[in-house]
Amino acid sequence: MKSVFSFWRDFIDLLFPRVCLACAGELVESEELVCTGCWAAIPKTQSHVHALPALHAKFAGRVAVKHVFSYFSFEKSSRVQNLLHELKYKNQTELGIVLGKFYGTDLRQIGYQGQLDLIVSVPLHPKKYQQRGYNQSDLFAEGLSAALGVPWSGVALQRATYTTTQTNKNRAERWQNVAGVFVAPNAADVAGKRVALVDDVMTTGATIESAVVTLLNAGCREVSVITIAAVM
């Protein structure tokens, strides 16, 4: 027999069908946020099991990065792009935390929690933060932190200046645009620590590179990078 709660749940689902954030198909009762079919089809890089040269190449010869982990590989017009869009622009905050918990669980299986002192998210500019009301990278960091049992900070790194859109700029121009955009206001927060820097998506890696430089200059022992998705 169905409980009263279950009855109401079915009733509410009928009025407001719960849909998959990746394909917009209707979710069955046991599914949350992403349907089983999408979850199986989303390309996971497994970069925490086998280091991926394509990810390390974004930083090679530029800045010292210990590990580069990305949960998914990013492609345009894909389920992954849909998920990132929902996370960034549609207020799907729970999605960021859930993805962090899932990937954190994968990282826990390789014992990563023992190689890490602090998780730091890449900050949004305050203007953007005000518009959006949240930083999607904070959510992913929060989920990772919960699964790994390692503290996270959304303020260890802060934006120094506003960067205009990165589109229509070549790599050199992009680099100039992001050089010196971050500050670590309290070096004592990060000094001597093994830090994982967390962002939602990595394209050229220029923004993340700038953040890594700031963290290393502030005295971090080593910096790794963890993103939800990366252009390979």
Assess 35 for contact with Zn ion (CB under 5 A). Answer: yes
Distance CA 189, CA 118 (A): 9
Closest separation between CB of residue 11 and Zn ion, Å?
Answer: 23
Question: CB under 5 A: which stretch of 28-36, 53-61, 139-147, 196-204 binds Zn ion?
Answer: 28-36
For Zn ion, which is the closer residue by CB, 85 or 128? 85
CA angle 192, 201, 227 (to 5 degrees): 40
For Zn ion, which is the closer residue by CB, 86 or 142? 86
Tokens representing residue 179 in the block: 């050089």
Assess 22 for contact with Zn ion (CB under 5 A). Answer: yes
Contacts of 215 (CB under 8 A, 6+ apart): 120, 157, 184, 190, 195, 197, 223
Place of tokens 């069908």: 17
Assess 20 for contact with Zn ion (CB under 5 A). Answer: yes
CA distances from 95 to 15, 101, 133, 142, 181 (A): 22, 10, 15, 11, 28
For Zn ion, which is the closer residue by CB, 68 or 84? 84
Contacts of 145 (CB under 8 A, 6+ apart): 100, 104, 119, 151, 152
For Zn ion, which is the closer residue by CB, 23 or 187? 23
Question: CB under 5 A: which stretch of 17-25, 112-120, 133-141, 161-169 binds Zn ion?
Answer: 17-25
Closest separation between CB of residue 24 and Zn ion, Å?
Answer: 7
Closest separation between CB of residue 136 and Zn ion, Å?
Answer: 20
Assess 23 for contact with Zn ion (CB under 5 A). Answer: yes
Number of residues that bind Zn ion (CB under 5 A): 6
| Interface with Zn ion (CB under 5 A) | 20, 22-23, 25, 35, 38
